Structure 1
Amino acid sequence: MTRIGAVSYLNTKPLIHGLRDRLGPSDSLTLNLPSRLATQLQAGELDVALIPSVEYFQGDRYQIVSDAAIGCRGPVWSVRLVSRVPVKKIRRLALDEGSRTSAALVRVLLWQMYGVRPQTTLLSMEQSPESADADAVLVIGDRAMHPERGVYSEIWDLGDRWCRHTETPFVFAMWVARPGVETSELQQLLAECRDEGCANLESIAAEHAAAHGLTNEDLHRYFAENLHFHLGPAERSGLQLFQQGCLELGLLRQRSGGLPTQRLSADG
């Protein structure tokens, strides 16, 4: 029996395409928020989970179990910093409560690019970015895709900013197992689901676009052009740099063993 958890967000749909049908009769698949999945994995309530990269850094002896991941190699569209003032003048930053990884990413970029360490506050899921009492706001997901025009002095696509700043891809989430879990069969299964999902992006987009206020074409373009679903050597280099940036700002506790650097084989 393997207990698997996956993020319930739109960007995971190609990765988990057909996953439930491929699992054995005693296996289970749970969809939940990223922070809850990380808590469940840490508590031993899940064996394997698709968790944000910053949560992987916090884990104890976690192992990456597949070369299937959620990342970008340029503009990601769904993660943005919107600022009422020039970015170098940001003093108060509202962080979307939906993502700890993006919250860490924006702080690392502001520090490394401009030496800025703003005071932070949370933006709730019910609160509009325009109502935030802050110079700038981190927004993710649907509301990041179509920010209010004419309201902000600067709008950053954080995927684009990271890739240009570091010359590496950015990894938002990957499949991770807690210590002691046997994952040899699961590695291939997760890669096969990713490959099948990537081969069916048009139908996946058609199934989910309307519910998120997007056209089929927009969502297909998001899957095909903005997201990258493979974890290779370049992505691992990006993870290393992100981990170092988080540690520099004190956003993580030091993890024993560091980040694995070996190249994943074709089966994970």
Structure 2
Amino acid sequence: MDKLRIGAVSYLNTKPLVYGIEKRLPGAEVVFDLPSRLADQLHAGQLDVALIPSVEYFRHADDYEIVSDACIACRGPVWSVRLLSRVPVPEIKTLALDEGSRTSAALVQVLLKQQYGLTPELHPLPIDASPDALSTDAVLLIGDRAMHPTTGLYQEIWDLGDRWCSWSKLPFVFAMWIGRRGVDHRELADALQHCRDAGMEHLQQLATEHAGTHGLTVSDCFAYLSRYLHFSLGDEERQGLELYRTKATELGLIAS
């Protein structure tokens, strides 16, 4: 039997979800990559299950199913997903989108449309490019590089988790464990839940191990993992997902 191929996000925010995963699933091959690349690999059949952007689940809902209640979500500020604008937000005409992002790329467009009626011209921000070198009015950053202080070029900075939760009064789910329909994922779902629960019990250890790699102090890293992020997919998270799907579909960001 072929190895189970699991794709996990290579950002700090995935650490609690994959805690001890090699021991829990010794026969599996775990691949770490950017969320957008994992989504492509799952769609191409190169992975069996992956932690992918929630927007990608909606784009392929006929083929996919949620396999675990472990997820990456927030119920307020998230810190690692930010819109940086050189002009007042209502004046944004051009927007660069972090190429590592898909859920957040759709989210920022939903928020700009809902709050200011904006539909900016979009440009890519390559993974290895500095946002300070761009000429766009604003830039969306996700992951580790969104968490560090900016250079002072920006008039406004939005935390997209905070903006969504304040507007919708619901949590936001950035990524979920997704697999293909027609496959029995019950055993895997149990293992992923155990990994998440174990990770939650060892947040201080994870912060100590990974803070330096991500340019954070241990206390800031622990705060990020314990206060900014939420790792369980409950009823309110599902309501938030449905609202997000509705608004993104209205903008043509998800095929209806």
Scaled by the length of structure 1, the TM-score of the pair is 0.91
Q: Contact (CA 8 Å) 2:94, 2:136: kept in 1 or not?
A: yes
Distance, in Å, in 1 between the alignment partners of 2:26 and 2:124 is 40
Q: Which residue of 1 aligns with 2:102?
A: 100
Q: Which residue of 2 aligns with 1:53?
A: 54
Q: Which residue of 2 aligns with 1:201?
A: 203
Distance, in Å, in 1 between the alignment partners of 2:38 and 2:158 is 28
After TM superposition, list the pairs within 5 Å mapping 1:7-156 onto structure 2. 7-25=9-27, 27-59=28-60, 60-148=62-150, 150-156=152-158
One-letter code aligned to 1:131: A
When residues 48 and 113 of structure 1 are mapped into structure 2, their CA distance, relative to the original with a 3 A threshold, is: same
Secondary structure of 1:13 counterpart? helix
Q: Which residue of 2 aligns with 1:236?
A: 238
Distance, in Å, in 1 between the alignment partners of 2:145 and 2:41 is 27
Distance, in Å, in 2 between the alignment partners of 1:221 and 1:83 is 26
Secondary structure of 1:36 counterpart? helix
One-letter code aligned to 2:222: H
Q: Contact (CA 8 Å) 2:173, 2:240: kept in 1 or not?
A: yes
Task: Output one character per residue of 1:3-57: Cα deviation in whole Å (capped at 9) or x when no partner.
Answer: 21111111100000001111143x3222222222212211222221111101111
Q: Percent identity among equivalent residues?
A: 60
One-letter code aligned to 1:156: W
Q: Which residue of 1 aligns with 2:173?
A: 171
Q: Contact (CA 8 Å) 1:47, 1:181: kept in 2 or not?
A: no
Q: Contact (CA 8 Å) 1:159, 1:170: kept in 2 or not?
A: yes
- 2:194 equivalent to 1:187: no
After TM superposition, list the pairs within 5 Å mapping 1:247-258 onto structure 2. 247-254=249-256
Give how far 1:147 is off: 3.4
Which deviates the most, 224-233 or 31-40?
Answer: 31-40
Task: Output one character per residue of 1:60-80: Cα deviation in whole Å (capped at 9) or x when no partner.
Answer: 331101110000000000111
Unaligned runs of 5+ in 1: 255-268
Distance, in Å, in 2 between the alignment partners of 1:173 and 1:180 is 21
Q: Contact (CA 8 Å) 1:93, 1:119: kept in 2 or not?
A: yes
Which deviates the most, 164-173 or 139-148?
Answer: 139-148
Distance, in Å, in 2 between the alignment partners of 1:103 and 1:133 is 18
Task: Output one character per residue of 1:138-197: Cα deviation in whole Å (capped at 9) or x when no partner.
Answer: 111222112325321111000000000000000000111112221111111111100000
Stretches of 4+ aligned residues off by more than 6 angstroms: none
Paired residues, number: 253
Task: Output one character per residue of 1:112-142: Cα deviation in whole Å (capped at 9) or x when no partner.
Answer: 1110000010112222222111111111122
Q: Contact (CA 8 Å) 2:88, 2:156: kept in 1 or not?
A: yes
Distance, in Å, in 1 between the alignment partners of 2:171 and 2:121 is 27
Which deviates the most, 139-148 or 241-250?
Answer: 139-148
Scaled by the length of structure 2, the TM-score of the pair is 0.95
Q: Contact (CA 8 Å) 2:11, 2:144: kept in 1 or not?
A: no
Distance, in Å, in 2 between the alignment partners of 1:63 and 1:120 is 30
Q: Which residue of 1 aligns with 2:6?
A: 4
Q: Contact (CA 8 Å) 1:85, 1:152: kept in 2 or not?
A: yes
Q: Which residue of 2 aligns with 1:221?
A: 223
Unaligned runs of 5+ in 2: none
Q: Which residue of 2 aligns with 1:262?
A: none
One-letter code aligned to 2:238: R
One-letter code aligned to 1:52: P
Secondary structure of 1:146 counterpart? coil
Q: Give RMSD over aligned pairs.
A: 1.2
Distance, in Å, in 1 between the alignment partners of 2:186 and 2:155 is 50
